[in-house]
Amino acid sequence: MALTIALILAILFVPWPWNVLLILGGLAIETGELVWGLRLARRWKPKTGAEAMIGREAEVVSPCRPVGEVRVHGELWRARCEEGAEVGERVCIARIEGLTLIVSPA
C-alpha cells in the first residue's frame, strides 16, 4: 500500500529528483511491513486440525466402553475411552489415532 501511494504521488505531484527518493522510501516501508508480517505469522499457533483438538473437552454421545462416539465443536467423532464413559459425560481428548479420538474422563 505504501509503495502504491508513493508511486502515485511521485508520478503526479513530485518533481524529478525527489520522486525517486519518494519511491525508494515507499519501497523501504513496504519491505519493512513484509518482514514484520512474516515474523508475526511464524508466532501464531494453528487453530484447526489435530493440534487444536488435543486437550479440548468433548461430550459423550454414545457410551464409550471402550469405543463410542463423542461430539466436538458440533462434529461427531469415533472415540476410545479405556476407563469407560456414559452418555452426557465430559471427556478430555488425549491424542488422535487415524480418525479415532483417544479420550479420558475429564
For residues 59 and 98, state if they share a domain. Answer: yes
| pLDDT interval class at 39 (50, 70, 90) | very high
Q: Quick check: 79 and 70 in contact, CB under 8 A?
A: yes
For residues 76 and 98, state if they share a domain. Answer: yes
For residues 23 and 69, state if they share a domain. Answer: no
For residues 56 and 89, state if they share a domain. Answer: yes
CA distance 66 to 79: 8
Give me the domain span that covers residue 92.
Answer: 50-105
pLDDT tens profile 80-89: 999 999 999 9
For residues 54 and 100, state if they share a domain. Answer: yes
pLDDT tens profile 66-82: 999 999 989 999 999 99
For residues 100 and 60, state if they share a domain. Answer: yes
pTM summary value: 0.58
